[in-house]
Structure 1
């Protein structure tokens, strides 16, 4: 009597190959994002600190989650033992949780920069962003502890397969945990990001109705950074929704018999979820002009034609003569001036000084990159457009 053919034989080959491609693209892409920001001092801004943290979480998630998933799809069982069963799933959940929290932090940061620029001047600093990123990792390590406790290996008596699954005493406990995971790794981050995004869009629409100034170029840079954060959020929401939906449906309907079609659909949804971490670097590069410049610096021999002009020509086009801008706004005095002597071959950034009283001695802010961020946010806010409208577009980092 002939043996029954495996109905998932094709998927056992195709899905691991697809996951392998996703993993390689994601690791290389996120690695380049980290390298570009690390090598460029002018890119170490508040938003880019969160971008680096996001790239680290995506890279770690692909490293810890793609290989186990590919092995399970290929072998239809878990051959790596219980220690790796606990460890790999725990680290995968830690990096996923850190990615969700970082996404939330990025959205809140953009909200503060555009909607509440003056109230959050002292808060939006690279030092604060690094502290928040560290807290994100610590909280993710603690929140994901139940994963390490619940994942175990066991053998299926009929097929003699070794599986790695979460073991629960009661069905109610399992349902509660899946709802909890859905809330903290999807619903809450997406909700907060959606609220921040809607308020940001409303603010940008309001500012676009104001009289136009010479800050068009600067505003485009600010809008591109905001579009980058919103793009990452939308991509996360779309690609992770199917996986959460099918997981919740399965746990809420435990007595529905498993079917080959459902398993195939889950394979596709799993690939979409992993693809989110691999596609984020493309979003950074598409919307972030500074990432394109950074890539040209790293690979001038291959990016010169595909990404436009060289960094030097871009810098010369945006170079300005030495200018100073000082104006009294409410009880604060805003002073904009260059950070150093004018040099046509080197990018020049403006420094902002915020003083409580114009009669007091100037007290520059501590971090020059934070100063440039403040300038970016202040000049993009409708409350200061009239201040900057007589000056040429200011070259600054978003």
Structure 2
């Protein structure tokens, strides 16, 4: 990114956000140039990206470890959540470390291979996230609206879920291929015969039509269309729950296990809604800016401090989405919160108590009897609580039978 004093042209050269083709043949006066040391984003963005890297790797890493190590947590919704976490880890590891310095240095230093990899991983992660959220919404819809027919038709089997996740990754990888094929490193001249290099996904020889087409395609495929589909599924769920409430005079008439299953399904549905809202809020400023900059004829002339700040906010939020899902899950799911504390904090009272108990041996016969009875009761209660947990990582029977 070049710093040009507003409102002269634009100072955006981060090719992951805008194009540089219409600026490549221009030169900038020295009195228009803003040194990097005088820009607030030079200090704010790297710190924010460092936090995204640390929190994202820790949160998504623990989530992946939890779902892989504990077989009782490998439910159908959690398979999709595992796919979300892997997609977030992909963009955090392959993209965040390199793009975090785009606001602190003037020229792309990593070379063409890293440029292609960074753009490719970013598009794959966005595709995996939005397609997985759409599949989760569909799964929740059939789980709540018609769970019995869903089981009869085989729509709830884990092999079908794994096939769906695999197809999601293949589709996201295929749609991201233009980033690999066409990302390049154009140069831009400055004053005194100096040039800078940027990473751009838009080839200059394809012209402005290709840029507009790709921006519109990503907006529709990665944002607008999935949002409409997900909204349709949740509107259908809301209508079904409303009709069910009208037809059921009192929840006390239902069997206790059915009430528990209804509550569990609603809670998982709320968790999915939380993920959906986070995704679409995080990517809304990014798409708004891209559409405005590429389709508004006077965007170069009207680009000012407001749009510059708006662009940076959208840029940061699009990457922040990769680390907020585990945070949301930590507050929504007691089971995940417990596992997270066990793996990262190692400070749960139950863990300390278990460790202390394992290290103490009874000295007398009476003490041994009390010791083993207390130990058995404590272990039994703990496992009973784990089996009764229904938030994330515990999936109720959809056929209407008690688990």
Fold shared, TM-score > 0.5 on shorter chain:
yes
User: Which residue in the other structure is 1:167 paired with?
Assistant: 203
Q: CA deviation at 1:265?
A: 2.0
User: Which residue in the other structure is 2:103 paired with?
Assistant: 73
Q: CA deviation at 1:32?
A: 0.8
Q: Give the distance between the partners of 2:182 and 2:61, measured in 1 at CA.
A: 32
Residue by residue over 1:218-242, the C-alpha shift from the partner in whole angstroms, topping out at 9 and shown as x without a partner, is 4332221111111101111111111
Q: Give the distance between the partners of 1:311 and 1:75, measured in 2 at CA.
A: 56
The alignment's TM-score, normalised by the length of structure 1, stands at 0.75
The farther-off stretch of 166-175 and 294-303 is 294-303
Q: CA deviation at 1:288?
A: 2.9
Q: Give the distance between the partners of 2:297 and 2:186, measured in 1 at CA.
A: 19
- Pick from 47, 50, 53 the counterpart of residue 77 of structure 2: 47
The farther-off stretch of 285-294 and 29-38 is 285-294
Q: CA deviation at 1:204?
A: 2.7
| 1:247 pairs with 2:284 | no
How many correspondences in the alignment? 329
Residue by residue over 1:4-25, the C-alpha shift from the partner in whole angstroms, topping out at 9 and shown as x without a partner, is 6527532112111111101211
Q: Give the distance between the partners of 1:296 and 1:19, measured in 2 at CA.
A: 24
- Pick from 142, 153, 158 the counterpart of residue 185 of structure 2: 153
CA pair 312-56 structure 1, distance change in 2 beyond 3 A: farther
Residue by residue over 1:177-211, the C-alpha shift from the partner in whole angstroms, topping out at 9 and shown as x without a partner, is 11001111111221111111121222233334423
Q: CA deviation at 1:120?
A: 1.7
User: Which residue in the other structure is 2:399 paired with?
Assistant: 378
**RMSD (CA atoms):** 2.9
Q: Give the distance between the partners of 1:300 and 1:203, measured in 2 at CA.
A: 42
Q: CA deviation at 1:299?
A: 6.3
Q: Would you say the 8 A contact 2:285–2:310 is kept in 1?
A: no
Residue by residue over 1:135-187, the C-alpha shift from the partner in whole angstroms, topping out at 9 and shown as x without a partner, is 11111111111112221101111251111112242222221111001111111
Q: Would you say the 8 A contact 1:151–1:164 is kept in 2?
A: yes
Between Structure 1 and Structure 2, the one with more strand by share is: 1
The farther-off stretch of 24-33 and 286-295 is 286-295
Q: Give the distance between the partners of 2:327 and 2:245, measured in 1 at CA.
A: 28
Residue by residue over 1:90-130, the C-alpha shift from the partner in whole angstroms, topping out at 9 and shown as x without a partner, is 12211211111111111111111111212221121111111
- Pick from 67, 82, 96 the counterpart of residue 37 of structure 1: 67
Q: Would you say the 8 A contact 1:90–1:148 is kept in 2?
A: yes
Q: Would you say the 8 A contact 1:40–1:294 is kept in 2?
A: no
SS of match in other structure, 1:118: helix
Q: Give the distance between the partners of 2:48 and 2:341, measured in 1 at CA.
A: 29
Unaligned stretches of 5+ in structure 1? 318-345, 350-371, 380-387, 389-393
User: Which residue in the other structure is 1:280 paired with?
Assistant: 325
Between Structure 1 and Structure 2, the one with more helix by share is: 2
- Pick from 273, 276, 282 the counterpart of residue 233 of structure 1: 276
User: Which residue in the other structure is 1:193 paired with?
Assistant: 230
CA pair 298-163 structure 1, distance change in 2 beyond 3 A: closer
Q: Give the distance between the partners of 1:77 and 1:265, measured in 2 at CA.
A: 22
Unaligned stretches of 5+ in structure 2? 1-29, 352-377
Q: CA deviation at 1:250?
A: 0.5
Q: CA deviation at 1:293?
A: 4.6
Q: Would you say the 8 A contact 1:86–1:151 is kept in 2?
A: yes
Q: Would you say the 8 A contact 1:227–1:287 is kept in 2?
A: no
SS of match in other structure, 2:198: strand
- Pick from 35, 49, 55 the counterpart of residue 6 of structure 1: 35
Residues 199-348 of structure 1: pairs in structure 2 closer than 5 A: 199-209=236-246, 210=248, 211-212=250-251, 213=254, 214-215=256-257, 216-253=259-296, 255-257=298-300, 258-295=303-340, 298=343, 301-304=346-349, 313=381, 315-316=383-384, 347=387
- Pick from 19, 23, 42 the counterpart of residue 53 of structure 2: 23
**RCO comparison, higher one (Cα < 8 Å, 6+):** 2
